[in-house]
Chain A
Amino acid sequence: MAKRILAVDDSRTMRAMLSQALVEAGYEVDLAEDGAQGLERIAEQVPNLLITDINMPKLDGFGLIEAVRGQKNLRALPILVLTTESAGELKARARKAGASGWIVKPFEEEKLLNAIRMVVA
């Protein structure tokens, strides 16, 4: 069974890029435009991995991660955040919220897939 990845990003371009790269790599991809929609998707079907942007309308990435981690059965769901900052602050906040790791935008496909392999079997 292909692993299912939910990618949440308010940028259509980003979603398209993620989806293209992930599908090519053999993952099943689900997309959401913001944190709130992301939560809805997760409620419909729990993915094997959540990739989320930080800056988003309605519910941002931190809020999404906190909401996910707040659900007992999702405590072990791997979560990667997409960030444009290689600096530590956002990573630290994401980590505090419960993120597993991060992908720095703009990402190379190889790096994206490597990061995924670090958290998804």
Chain B
Amino acid sequence: MTDLRTAFFEECEELLESLADGLSRLEDGADDSETVNSIFRAVHSIKGSAGAFGLDALAEFSHIFENVLDKLREGELTADADLMPLLYQGGDHLSYLVEAANGGVEVEPDRAAALIADLRRTAQGDGFDEDEDASDLSAVDVAAVDSFQPIILDFGLPDLGSVTTQAAQAGPSRFEIRFAPKEELFETGHDPILLFRALGALGPVEAEADLSNLPEFTELDWDRPYLSWTLMLETEASRDAVEGVFEFVADLCELEITAVAREGTGDDPLPPSDDGTPPPDEDDGSDEPGGSDPEDDDSTAAAVEPAVRSEPEAAKPQKKAEAGTVQKANRDTIRVELERVDRLVNIVGELVISEAMLRQAMADSSMSAHGPAANAMGQLRQLSGELQESVMAIRAQPVRGLFQRMSRIVRETLRETKKNARLVSEGEATEVDKTVIERLVDPLTHMIRNAIDHGLESPEKREAAGKPAVGTVTLSAAHRSGRVIIELRDDGAGINRPKVREVAISKGLITAADDLSDAEIDNLLFAPGFSTSEKVSNLSGRGVGMDVVRSEIQALGGRVSISSEWGKGTVFSISLPLTLAVLEGMIVEVAGEKIVVPTTTLRETVRASEAAMHMLGNSERVLSMRDGLVPIVDLGESLGFRGRVSDFSDQSLLLIETDTGQRTALAVDKVYDQREVVIKGLEQNYRQVPGIAAATILGDGRIALIADTDQFTSTGPGTAVAASMGTDLFDDFSDFGV
């Protein structure tokens, strides 16, 4: 059941995507039946399965929503400006309910009371009441509908109630069942013997066949039913259960069920119900015997259970020739558990490492660099690279789903802030690692709320500023030089820098004397504890600031930057690695340990002997650059590998720059080369270590730590933390086997 549940929620995600997709197509004017149907089906499918998992709130809401969509499908409603917002809200609430159900979260009871009322009202419609709805059906259908109701079998005998009650209290009761199949019964795949067996399951049955209508053999028409039966059933079961046996055939036969006294024969047949169903097309020459099997007919009374019939002829396998030419439905996709893909990713990671080790070993040996082994090695290297890329591509997903989810956030936020904007998405097909996409949800949600809440002006203000009253929020994704760039643009007011500055001063983040560039001021938005909102808005507030957004993106190996033009709008740009499995890094050495410095933050490498270094105070060393002084951090010391090196002249300096523009020069003993390394999480194997992002295995089989460079910049918690954690880290390394 758990597996099914998981499958259900997975499917829900897809259905919600297709719902969102359909709604946006609908809004764009596509009101073709396939679009409307796909929307309807999505909600319908959720409803259908939700009930099975006892997710009542979800099932119930889907039902209400579905009713509206049904009217849309029937053309009784039009997807106009009045209806679209309701449909979107319906979709949003459905998503919310799915998430709540998935997370086992209690649904806020009154969350959608107004929406539900609106949907109900809309489904009922003004001009359409229930009767008129049924007017689509022909009179025949209506009659058929009626005949499906079990009530038709209730013959209203005055003593009926007392008999059944009595039966319940005093042992088995007897029912006399008169059953005369109509032709249609045999044309809809039914077989009286199955009905009799089902009766037999309720208690002993005696069946008597009425052969009086049977014509001479030569006049026998195979399609026509000639037989009828009278069955006596003795059972503990209720009348409902007996009627239940005939549920599927109630309109396909003449049926009377009479409760009889134990010894009496109280038969009081009512005229059979008039069934308005027109006879289906006569189709002679059928090989279907229509239930009038002459073998059975000889017996006038037979116990039902032993009766054996051959399978209907129709169930014979199809012609082979035909089966051979029918192609299996084409499958463009297969579904694979993520776990399997990850195992593959891991194995390929190991392979790449082994390949690097082999290459190293060959280089260390005296093997010819041009011999066959070296050639094969070159091929192996290329293949393993391609293999790695292909495996990573399996984990890649288009950002479409993420963007659709964001469009929901946009609508929600607009509703709550009473602002007006449209969301434009670009590059939805851009593929990004699944995990990256999942972990982008929270930061992106926060950024969007922020952009609308703080960035966009009210419609009045916009018009006063000569802008269209409806703002535009653009979400775009693109691949750029081996990374994914996700941009969030708004055409709002832009960052109010004087105000940001003021707030930062009041919060003690900067001093009034600090001379900050525009970019530096913009970056204050990401400073911990910063919030420009005068009152804590429940939207962009929610207890987290943009600093959390930044750290979440950094945790993905990403960078976020901001640019803004006053009066014109703001752009947030997120740059992310394509995969979380490999990383481009510079291999360096400190205190005999190899460390990987990610190249994303690396700007420049400088020989210390050629650099201009100065002492600030007693201990602070700085690097003098063209555009200012950069603090120097001794990586070996910071990581606790050794004490401070007094002479930096043999060292190399790696200039790193964070998203915020904070720069630090990392002093290392030696710089090797730049290469891709396979990331091995420390957390699964060990624990999180300050200053260290992860580890990798190098070609020589040694473990190298990957530095978390942001922690070494002066504003990050890093310098202090790393220094204080240093000894701890150093002690732990012996356990870690480094």
Show the binding face of A for B, using Cβ within 8 Å: 10-14, 16-17, 20, 32-33, 37, 40, 42-46, 48, 53, 55-57, 69, 72-79, 82, 84, 88-89, 91-93, 95-96, 98-102, 105-107, 115, 117-121
Residue contact A118 to B48, C-beta cutoff 8 Å? no
Q: Tell me the minimal C-beta distance from B124 to chain A in angstroms.
A: 16
A40 to B324, CA, bound (A): 11
A1 to B505, CA, bound (A): 82
Q: What chain A residues lie within 8 Å of B280 (beta carbons)?
A: 98
A42 to B49, CA, bound (A): 25
Q: What chain B residues lie within 8 Å of A37 (beta carbons)?
A: 329
- Known A14-B48, A119-B248, A121-B193: A69·B326 in contact at CB below 8 Å: no
Q: What chain B residues lie within 8 Å of A20 (beta carbons)?
A: 4
A17 to B277, CA, bound (A): 34
Q: Tell me the minimal C-beta distance from B152 to chain A in angstroms.
A: 11
Q: What chain B residues lie within 8 Å of A107 (beta carbons)?
A: 52
- Known A46-B315, A46-B317: A89·B187 in contact at CB below 8 Å: no
The bracket for how many chain B residues form the interface is 35 or more
A20 to B52, CA, bound (A): 13
- Known A57-B41, A79-B188: A17·B309 in contact at CB below 8 Å: no
Q: What chain B residues lie within 8 Å of A46 (beta carbons)?
A: 314-318
Taken residue by residue from 123 to 167, chain B's Cβ proximity to chain A (1 for < 8 Å, 0 otherwise) reads as: 000000000001001001100111011000000000000000000
Residue contact A118 to B37, C-beta cutoff 8 Å? no
A77 to B137, CA, bound (A): 26
Residue contact B248 to A118, C-beta cutoff 8 Å? yes
Q: What chain A residues lie within 8 Å of B4 (beta carbons)?
A: 13, 16-17, 20
Residue contact A93 to B141, C-beta cutoff 8 Å? yes
Residue contact A106 to B326, C-beta cutoff 8 Å? no
Q: Which residue of A is nearest B312, CB measured?
A: A76
Residue contact B191 to A121, C-beta cutoff 8 Å? yes
- Known A46-B315, A74-B314, A75-B187: A55·B44 in contact at CB below 8 Å: yes
Q: Tell me the minimal C-beta distance from A115 to chain B in angstroms.
A: 8
Leading 3 A-B pairs by shortest Cβ distance: A101-B248, A106-B51, A78-B189
B8 adjacent to chain A (CB < 8 Å): yes
Q: What chain A residues lie within 8 Å of B322 (beta carbons)?
A: 43
Residue contact B318 to A105, C-beta cutoff 8 Å? no
Q: What chain B residues lie within 8 Å of A79 (beta carbons)?
A: 188-189
Taken residue by residue from 48 to 66, chain B's Cβ proximity to chain A (1 for < 8 Å, 0 otherwise) reads as: 1111110000010001000
Q: Which of B48, B134, B190 lies in contact with A78, CB distance below 8 A?
A: B190
Q: Which residue of B is nearest A47, CB measured?
A: B315
Q: Which of A14, A57, A95, A117 lies in contact with B188, CB distance below 8 A?
A: A95
Residue contact A12 to B11, C-beta cutoff 8 Å? yes
B730 adjacent to chain A (CB < 8 Å): no
Residue contact A118 to B198, C-beta cutoff 8 Å? yes
Q: What chain A residues lie within 8 Å of B247 (beta carbons)?
A: 101, 118
Taken residue by residue from 692 to 725, chain B's Cβ proximity to chain A (1 for < 8 Å, 0 otherwise) reads as: 0000000000000000000000000000000000
Residue contact A55 to B315, C-beta cutoff 8 Å? no
Q: Which of A76, A84, A92, A121 lies in contact with B145, CB distance below 8 A?
A: A92
New contact pairs (12) apart from A12-B10, A13-B7, A56-B41, CB-CB < 8 Å: A13-B49, A17-B52, A43-B326, A55-B40, A55-B44, A57-B34, A76-B314, A107-B52, A115-B248, A117-B198, A118-B198, A121-B193
Contacts of B280-326 to chain A: CB distance below 8 A? 280, 283, 285-288, 309, 311-318, 322-323, 326
Q: Which residue of B is nearest A102, CB measured?
A: B248
B195 adjacent to chain A (CB < 8 Å): yes
Residue contact A96 to B286, C-beta cutoff 8 Å? no
How many A-B pairs have beta carbons closer than 8 Å: the answer is 169
Residue contact B11 to A118, C-beta cutoff 8 Å? no
In the assembled complex, 11 residue pairs joining A and B whose CB atoms fall closer than 8 Å, in A order, are A13-B11, A43-B323, A44-B326, A55-B44, A75-B189, A88-B146, A88-B149, A92-B145, A95-B188, A96-B140, A96-B144
* Max chain A Cβ within 10 angstroms of own Cβ: one of B50, B191, B197, B314: B314
A42 to B318, CA, bound (A): 8
A93 to B144, CA, bound (A): 9
Q: Tell me the minimal C-beta distance from B554 to chain A in angstroms.
A: 37
- Known A37-B329, A44-B318, A92-B137: A84·B41 in contact at CB below 8 Å: no
B194 adjacent to chain A (CB < 8 Å): yes
Q: What chain A residues lie within 8 Å of B326 (beta carbons)?
A: 40, 43-44
Q: What chain A residues lie within 8 Å of B186 (beta carbons)?
A: 76
Q: What chain B residues lie within 8 Å of A43 (beta carbons)?
A: 318, 322-323, 326
Q: Which of B11, B248, B318 lies in contact with A100, CB distance below 8 A?
A: B248
Q: What chain A residues lie within 8 Å of B41 (beta carbons)?
A: 10, 55-57
- Known A93-B141, A96-B277: A16·B7 in contact at CB below 8 Å: yes
Q: Which residue of A is nearest B308, CB measured?
A: A121
Q: Which residue of A is nearest B134, CB measured?
A: A89
A77 to B251, CA, bound (A): 18
Q: What chain A residues lie within 8 Å of B193 (beta carbons)?
A: 121
Residue contact A100 to B189, C-beta cutoff 8 Å? yes
Q: What chain B residues lie within 8 Å of A91 (beta carbons)?
A: 145, 148
A121 to B317, CA, bound (A): 17
Residue contact B315 to A77, C-beta cutoff 8 Å? yes
B344 adjacent to chain A (CB < 8 Å): no
Q: What chain A residues lie within 8 Å of B311 (beta carbons)?
A: 48, 121
Q: Tell me the minimal C-beta distance from B353 to chain A in angstroms.
A: 37
B430 adjacent to chain A (CB < 8 Å): no
Residue contact B52 to A73, C-beta cutoff 8 Å? no
Contacts of B23-46 to chain A: CB distance below 8 A? 34, 37-38, 40-41, 44-45
B503 adjacent to chain A (CB < 8 Å): no
- Known A20-B4, A93-B141: A84·B51 in contact at CB below 8 Å: yes
* Max chain B Cβ within 10 angstroms of own Cβ: one of A44, A79, A120: A44
A13 to B42, CA, bound (A): 12
- Known A55-B40, A117-B194: A92·B314 in contact at CB below 8 Å: no
Q: Tell me the minimal C-beta distance from B189 to chain A in angstroms.
A: 4
Q: What chain A residues lie within 8 Å of B286 (beta carbons)?
A: 72, 75
Q: What chain B residues lie within 8 Å of A88 (beta carbons)?
A: 144-146, 148-149
B449 adjacent to chain A (CB < 8 Å): no
B47 adjacent to chain A (CB < 8 Å): yes
Q: Tell me the minimal C-beta distance from A28 to chain B in angstroms.
A: 13
Residue contact B148 to A69, C-beta cutoff 8 Å? no
Residue contact A105 to B194, C-beta cutoff 8 Å? no
Q: What chain A residues lie within 8 Å of B146 (beta carbons)?
A: 88
Residue contact A75 to B288, C-beta cutoff 8 Å? yes
Q: What chain A residues lie within 8 Å of B312 (beta carbons)?
A: 76
A74 to B188, CA, bound (A): 10
Q: Which of B7, B10, B141 lies in contact with A96, CB distance below 8 A?
A: B141
Taken residue by residue from 256 to 283, chain B's Cβ proximity to chain A (1 for < 8 Å, 0 otherwise) reads as: 0000000000000000000001001001
B689 adjacent to chain A (CB < 8 Å): no
- Known A56-B41, A76-B288, A98-B188: A105·B52 in contact at CB below 8 Å: yes
Q: What chain B residues lie within 8 Å of A115 (beta carbons)?
A: 248
Q: Which residue of A is nearest B48, CB measured?
A: A105
